Amino acid sequence: MSSETFRSGYVAFIGRPNAGKSTLLNRLVGEKIAAVSNKPQTTRHRIQGIVTKEEGQIVFVDTPGVHKPGYLLNRRMMSAVHDAILSVDLLVLMRDASVSTGNGDKFVLELVKNSGKQAVLVLNKIDKVKDKGALLPLIEYYSKEFDFAEIVPVSALRGEAIDNLLNQIIKHLPTGEAIFGEDEMTDQPIRTIVAEMVREKILASTGEEIPYVTAVVTEMFDETDPEMPKIYCAIYVERPSQKKIIIGKGGTKLRDIGMKARHDIENLLGKQVFLKLFVKVVEDWRNLEGRLDEIGIKE
Ligand SMILES: Nc1nc2c(ncn2[C@@H]2O[C@H](COP(=O)(O)OP(=O)(O)OP(=O)(O)O)[C@@H](O)[C@H]2O)c(=O)[nH]1
């Protein structure tokens, strides 16, 4: 494809928690870089995934779930959503098509309407919708509310219609040269990606009470031995009782989390790593500015 027709730009996902943004990003980029879990509010970093095709390059900015501000942490997450919206060329509104429209969906729709940006509507989880005819009223509703550039039903989980979605997105980006090199998939520091992977394993193996009180920081990434980097991650919790939950009986849970995270990290880096996890109790870390800065959650 000639350079005059190559398109490139920034694209942000917005949607309610649990819509499947991280799952779709992982699908599109083809590597596990965003934390995925079945518990809402797992995405705390604006992780970028980069897809380069013959027709163009898309730089994805993943945003945290849109929700009502509460803790300082949540307020920062909301401002991250607004920043992401202002800095992109195209929005992708992700909607879980298997559930009925609620106030949260209307709130997200308002964000799109007020953004002044063009947007693609993605109706996700169509594998859960037995009667595909049931999608029609949803499509009608959204079309009436906003002039979406495209409406694309997908199943992020099964990887259905993903390539079509990439093409539909590229079509609406400005013409221009690639923003990143072809081999790059993310501009997030490797430390952040590693921490996200550890966090994902914690969420997958602990109960409801843990996700919101946990943060992971990569404290050291030692490449003295380039064949086998040594990685030290701190897991923040708020109370000793939460530390006990994460460590598990005889340390079994933490070992399991470490083994699974190490597996993913080794896959990503293509080499063996030494991974050490520590659990630290820091009371009320979610409201401490210094801790939020250290963890990388920016204003
Ligand atoms: N059945 C089905 N489940 C899906 C699909 N896409 C995502 N899920 C599930 O929905 C849950 C939430 O997915 P995530 O990708 O973590 O959602 P998110 O929108 O990034 O959530 P936040 O990080 O909270 O904003 C997970 O359990 C996924 O496996 C899909 O196409 N079909």
Q: Which two tokens stand for residue 247?
A: 């460590």
Span 285-296, average pLDDT: 64
Nearest to 255 by CA among 190, 198, 171: 198
Ligand 1 within 6 A of CB of 72: no
**pLDDT tens by residue, 100-134:** 998 888 888 888 888 889 999 999 999 999 888 98
Are 135 and 123 in contact by the 8 Å Cβ rule? The answer is: yes
Go through 44-80 and write b for each residue having 16 or more CB atoms within 10 A of its CB, e for each that does not.
Answer: bbbbbbbbbeebbbbbbbbbbbbbeeeeebbebbbeb
What is the pLDDT averaged over residues 218-243?
Answer: 88
Q: By the 8 A CB rule, do 20 and 146 touch? A: no
What is the C-alpha separation between 117 and 81, in angstroms, rounded? 14
Residue of 18, 122, 160, 196 with the most ligand 1 atoms within 8 Å of its CB, for mutation: 18
Longest dimension (CA), the chain: 62
Residue 146 pLDDT exceeds 70: yes
Cα(1) to ligand 1 centroid in Å equals 34
Sign of CA dihedral 147, 152, 156, 162: negative
41 vs 292: CA distance, rounded Å: 16
Mean pLDDT of the chain: 81
Q: DSSP E strands: which ranges in 134-237?
A: 150-153, 215-222, 230-237
Pick from 37, 19, 13, 28: nearest CA to 199: 37
Of all residues in the chain, what percent carry a pLDDT higher than 90? 34
Highest mean pLDDT among 1-5, 74-78, 167-171, 270-274: 167-171
Nearest atom (ligand 1) to Cα of 43 = 23
Ligand 1 atom closest to residue 63's alpha carbon, by position in its atom list? 25
- The closest-lying atom of ligand 1 relative to the alpha carbon of residue 156 is 31
